[in-house]
Amino acid sequence: MKNDLSSILIRPSITEKATLMVESSVYTFEVAPKAGKAEIKKAFVEKYKAVPIKVTTVTIPAKKVVVRGKRGVKAGYKKAYVYLKKGEKIEIM
C-alpha cells in the first residue's frame, strides 16, 4: 500500500453537500479503509498537483437496510475531506 498511491483515492464524492463545499475549496473523496492522512495527502498531491493545507477523515459505518422486503447491509467506507488554500481549485475528472 505504501508504494501504490493510486489505489488510495477511490473516487470523489459527488453529493449535494460535497458540491457546495467545493466553493470553499474543500474536496471530498472515498478512500481506502486503511489509508492514513499522510498517505491520502501524498496520493492527492501526486494525482492533482495541488498541496492541501489539511486532511480530515471520517469512517462511515455499515447500515442495515430493507429493499423490496429483503434485509441487507449497506457497506461502510472511509471518507476524506481535503482542504485547499482559499480560492485554489482542482479539476475532478
pLDDT in tens, 40-76: 999 999 999 999 999 999 999 999 999 999 999 999 9
Q: Which amino acid is at 87?
A: G
Contact indicator for 54, 37 with CB cutoff of 8 Å: no
Place of cell 467506507: 77
Task: Map grid coordinates 422486503 to a residue.
Answer: 69
Domains, the chain, in order of start with CATH, read 5-83 (3.30.70.330)
- Let me know the angle formed at the C-alpha of 37 by 36 and 42, rounded to the nearest 5 degrees: 100
pLDDT confidence band for 1 (50 / 70 / 90): very low
Grid coordinates standing for 7? 489505489
